Structure 1
Amino acid sequence: MPFRRLQSKLLKDRAMRRSPLIRRHLPETRPYHPYVLKRMLNQHSTVFVKPDKGSQGRGIVRLKRSKHRGIHISWGLNKRKVKRKFMIRALHQRLRPYQSYIVQQGLQLTKYHNRLIDIRVFLQRPGSKWLISGKVVRVGAAGRFVTNYSQGGRPVHLHKVLDSIYHHDPQRVEATIQKVDQIAYHAAAALSSKFRGIRVLGIDIGLDRSGRVWIIEANTRPGTQLFKKLKDQSMYQTIMTNYKNIARRRR
């Protein structure tokens, strides 16, 4: 392929964290260790344990504190509650041996029609500058805590979702879109300055209930299915045109 792929979530997080412009938009992310997990659960009501080199939302486990010192452990559509002292044992039953994992702070993300959402910003660099080729909201399937298309997520136009969330306030909608664009561009700059050869990025951005914007993850080989599924094909066509331009420059 005519562009570089970087799998490690931890390496991408560290590269973005070097930028003071976006550092405060990154949830706490650490290499997995039982001690780290316990400490982070003391600080955050919810944490996620993710494969460092996973994709499509596979293998992610959510741990959430309950009111009575128990821990709710969720994976896929499954859930169980365990006593805190048995948490690590229960978690390790869900993890693959010899695979590296990260622990990430859980966020209180806003919802759309009672479904979890995030924003996929698709960036490409066919020339010397990064361009946003498309933005779409990923709406998670019922009962799931991930929004990936492969896990039943569906695409909805960004304006439509923000208009609903912000109760038809056009100024707040436009301000949020501008903030999302700004953060995505800063993330792309931070990643491409550290890892030469990256020309395509899918930045997953979450909005919490207070309106704060977060970078959940950055992908160096994002899928195009979300944009292809939209009735309006203009963003998908832009993405494919930019792919051709990237390939042409590398010949």
Structure 2
Amino acid sequence: MISLGFITIEEQQEMEYCTEIAKRAGRYGIAVYRFTPLDIDPLTEKVHGRAFDEKRQAWTKSTFDIPSFLYDRCFYRSDIRSKKCKPIMQWLKRRPDLVFLGYGFPGKWDVYEKMIEHPLLSPYVPKTARLQSSADILRMIRREQAVICKPEHGAGGRGIYVIQKAERKLHIRDASGQTTALVGQKSELEQWISTLLQQHSYLIQPFLPLQTKENEPFDVRFLFQKDGTGKWIERCRAVRVGHPGMFIANVRAGADVRDFSGWIRSFPSPQRILIIDGIETIIRALPSYMDEHFGTLFELGIDIGITKEGGVWIIDVNSKPGRKIVAALHPDKKDDVYEAPLQYCLFLANEVNIL
């Protein structure tokens, strides 16, 4: 029987998703386990985690070998637990006897550098720079209305700041739109950046006007997964609309989820054609290109921003996306999402001749 391990930082993280996968695993000849990196005994390399009991349809405490196939759903923060887990995951990914459904991205900067090399994708990528000093922000803000600062390894909109110039001062706001600092001197900006970079490395981009008429932030999220033949499949596309005054449209932060087809019809026909052409260019080229340059991937979340003028921009590419847009718009497709990791695991097992 094939063994598939579902790995998270926190023990209860994504419990519903993992359980729904495990309930369907038996028919694929797959045994599902869940654990955190800290559940691995460094001496014996045995895992003290939980196994899914098919008869009882429940998780039971169990000690087992590291599963041959691993599904990485670890999200790292700056806490001590994350810092302990990350090197263990890096060790697992270096082992030739283990196969990950997806190996993820090294960081947003690496993704940016690859995207700007692609002749079709580069026109849709906002100018991006690494944040190292106040000069980086001042240089960009002279040319732009505002600058957005993003953690290089961030997810879910955490740690984002927007810097806007007004009345000879820089207003620094967090993702919720709250002012966290008011900077009038270069030395003050240097101090703010120094404190910021103690926690994470950061990237900066022009802050794009991606708001509705009601001042709500929005983007379009595309969820891709691979199927049982290793082919990329678009599972869902949705418009995510955040609260007025905020800078992110993340579902975890309370964003509303709306149907894409109804939303796109609100644009005049000539503009709509250009927007759809840009979107189709991105989603046709991006998934396979990411695979080619970052190794095997299983799923992708692609976030696309659209300005009032119809400009199309790649806002983010996420190798560990959530699935809430499917539940909100297409609950009938939830089975496809739950079975996709099992189908792809079976495909990988055939590829590496483990069966």
TM bracket (short chain): 0.7 to 0.9
Deviation at 1:212, TM superposition (A): 1.1
1:229 corresponds to which residue? 328
Task: State the number of aligned residues.
Answer: 245
Q: In the alignment, which residue of structure 2 is the partner of 1:102?
A: 203
Percent identity, please.
Answer: 24
1:243 aligns with 2:349: no
Q: How does 1:1-251 map to 2 (within 5 A)?
A: 1=71, 2-34=101-133, 35-66=135-166, 68-77=167-176, 78-79=178-179, 80-85=181-186, 86-93=188-195, 95=196, 97-111=198-212, 113-126=214-227, 127-164=229-266, 166=267, 169=268, 172-173=271-272, 175-230=274-329, 232-251=330-349
1:140-159 Cα offsets, whole Å, 9 max, x none, are 12321011112121211112
User: How many angstroms does 1:65 deviate by?
Assistant: 1.7
Higher mean alpha-carbon deviation, 80-89 vs 38-47, is at 80-89
Partner amino acid for 1:102? L
Deviations 1:172-215 (A, max 9, x none): 54553343132122122321111110121111000012101100
Q: Which amino acid aligns with 2:107?
A: S
SS at 1:111's partner residue? Answer: coil
How far apart are the structure 2 equivalents of 1:108 and 1:84? Answer: 26
Does structure 2 retain, via aligned residues, the 8 Å contact 1:49–1:62?
Answer: yes
TM-score, normalised via structure 2 length = 0.64
Consecutive unaligned residues of structure 1, counting only runs of 5 or more, are none
- Measure how far apart 1:102 and its partner are: 1.1
Q: Secondary structure at the match of 1:143?
A: coil
Change (3 A) 1:246 1:115: same
Could you tell me how far apart the structure 1 residues matched to 2:224 and 2:265 are? 23
Contact 1:154 1:226 in 2 (8 A): no
Task: Indicate how the Cα distance of structure 1 residues 133 and 26 shifts in structure 2: closer, same or farther if over 3 A, else same.
Answer: same
Greater RCO (CA < 8 Å, at least 6 residues apart): 1
For the structure 1 residues 171 and 43, does the alpha-carbon distance in structure 2 shift closer, same or farther, using more than 3 Å as the test? closer
Distance 1:99-1:235 versus aligned 2 partners, 3 A rule? same
Aligned mates of 1:42, 1:235 — CA distance in 2: 47
CA distance in 2, matches of 1:156, 1:180: 17
**2-side partners of 1:24 and 1:178: how far apart?**
13
Give the distance between the partners of 1:113 and 1:236, measured in 2 at CA: 32
Q: Using the TM superposition, give the Cα deviation of residue 11 of structure 1 relative to its aligned residue in structure 2, in angstroms.
A: 0.9
Task: Name whichever of 26-35 and 80-89 sits farther off.
Answer: 80-89
Displacement, 1:128? 4.5
Bigger drift between 105-114 and 203-212 goes to 105-114
For 1:214 and 1:62, locate their aligned partners in 2 and report how far apart those are by CA, in whole Å. 18
Amino acid at match of 1:56: G
- Structure with max Cα Rg: 2
Give the AA of the match of 1:50: K
Give the TM-score of the pair, scaled to structure 1: 0.88
Q: Kindly provide the CA deviation profile for residues 157-178 of structure 1, in whole angstroms up to 9, marking residues without a partner as x.
A: 11222223x1xx4565455334
Q: Is the 8 A contact 1:134 1:239 kept in 2?
A: no
Instruction: Give RMSD over aligned pairs.
Output: 2.2
